[in-house]
Amino acid sequence: MRYQLDISDGLVSQAVCCRRPCNALAPNALYANNECIPRGQLNSACTTNAQCGGGEGMECVKGQCQCFAGFHPTVDTLTHPMKNPSQSCSRDCETEALSKDTSCMKPGGLGSLCFVQRQCPQNSGCYRGRCMCRCGFEQKGDKCQALPPPPTTTPQPNS
């Protein structure tokens, strides 16, 4: 990767292409204020908000990367801080709403728009952006009910 450095002596200015600083330290460092500084994670030390950009919804507060107001640490098996320090922050949502990254999404009914499976009612899923009944279920009103088993026929013995 290259970046442009503008050089000027007061009379003449020119642009020079240089290797981007901190490339050798990527992705653990970033270039800010003419120096390579460590990229911050949730609860790690920081001196600037830019350091906390590794996790969405974070800022540098009193020298430590913290979740923005209205956000909380996202804790699950993949982002648990003891296993993965690049833990992120999710938006605090109303009781019925679901948090997806920095957005709140309300659950919907059958046929409504969706982005994730959890927005859809029981026995349905998010297919091509709409809540629809899963295979083996059919829509009855605003619910998905199991389809009856197919009839079985017993062959008649030949007499």
The number of residues making up the chain comes to 159
Q: Is-contact 30 39, C-beta < 8 A?
A: yes
Q: Is-contact 56 102, C-beta < 8 A?
A: yes
For the chain, what is the mean pLDDT? 76
Q: Is-contact 136 144, C-beta < 8 A?
A: no
Could you state, in order of their start, the residue ranges of all structural domains in the chain? 1-7+14-36, 39-93, 107-147
User: What average pLDDT score do residues 108-126 get?
Assistant: 89
Q: Which two tokens stand for residue 151?
A: 């009839």
**Count of alpha carbons within 13 angstroms of residue 102, beta-carbon side:** 7
Which are the contacts of 128, defined by CB distance < 8 A and separation ≥ 6?
Answer: none
At residue 146 the predicted structure's pLDDT band, cuts being 50, 70 and 90, is: very high
Which are the contacts of 69, defined by CB distance < 8 A and separation ≥ 6?
Answer: none
More confident residue, 27 or 68: 68
Query: Which pTM value belongs to this model?
Result: 0.48
pLDDT digits (tens, 9 = 90+) for 51-76: 886 556 888 999 998 988 888 887 66
